[in-house]
Amino acid sequence: MSFFFGSRSSKTFKPKKNIPEGSQHYDLMKHAAATLGSGNLRLAVMLPEGEDLNEWVAVNIVDFFNQINMLYGTITEFCTEDSCPIMSAGPKYEYHWADGLTVKKPIKCSAPKYIDYLMTWVQDQLDDETLFPSKIGVPFPKNFLSIAKTILKRLFRVYAHTYHQHFSEVVQLGEEAHLNTSFKHFIFFVQEFDLIDRKELAPLQELIDKLTSKESR
């Protein structure tokens, strides 16, 4: 059986955490939205003065998860067991799924199944209050940035698959500007805080160089 975003339970695909007004999360999200609106993505990803790095990374991960969720959701009819029997990012890169808990030995699976596993896994991380505390004053775990790096590395793979295998459909839908802006924001963010190893970015390195070369560092 294949899994598609449209058929998921509302639990798995609810947008993550409605943030109550007046909370630190809410203020950070407002700051992020305001700086993004300025059009300067390098500026938008920088840690706001006086803010906690873990908090800033957490807020942005939630945002990227929701963006990728929506972007991929528009192309699920094109990403099927038949069209994408392996999870790949072009002919040189193939991903096998393992989460270290329920799937310890990496398994080969179709792209829609892999992305289903991946997004469900990320959702579970975001819902875990010990990893992503929603209450003010509750500390993040000491290894939070390590957890964040794993999440972002995996989310990158959805962008990589989308660009390599489905970009023509994205263009047909008129969504390439949305995808490019989302990915550019994601790349500037992970570059700013050194959150993804360069070798992991290799499937889209040419695109990354093109998108980032136009902006001053």
166 is in an annotated binding site: yes
Assigned domain for 10 exists: no
31 is in an annotated binding site: no
161 is in an annotated binding site: yes
Assigned domain for 142 exists: yes
**Residue 12 has what pLDDT?**
38
Assigned domain for 99 exists: yes
pTM: 0.82
User: Could you write out the DSSP letters of every residue in the chain?
Assistant: ----GGGS-TTTTSPS-PPPTTSHHHHHHHHHHHHHHTT-HHHHHSPPTT--HHHHHHHHHHHHHHHHHHHHHTSTTTS-TTT-SS-BSSTT-B--B--SSS--S-B---HHHHHHHHHHHHHHHHH-TTTS--STTPPPPTTHHHHHHHHHHHHHHHHHHHHHHHHHHHHHTT-HHHHHHHHHHHHHHHHHTT-S-GGGGGGGHHHHHHHHHTS--
109 is in an annotated binding site: no
**Residue 143 has what pLDDT?**
96
Q: What is the pLDDT along the chain (217 residues), one digit of tens a residue?
A: 233 333 333 333 444 444 444 444 545 455 445 444 446 788 889 999 988 999 999 999 999 999 999 999 999 999 999 999 999 999 999 999 998 878 888 999 999 999 999 999 999 999 999 999 988 788 999 999 999 999 999 999 999 999 999 999 999 999 998 899 999 999 999 999 999 999 999 999 999 998 888 654 4
Assigned domain for 199 exists: yes
For the chain, the domain total comes to 1
The domain in which residue 48 lies consists of: 20-213
Assigned domain for 7 exists: no
CATH number (domain holding residue 79): 1.20.140.30
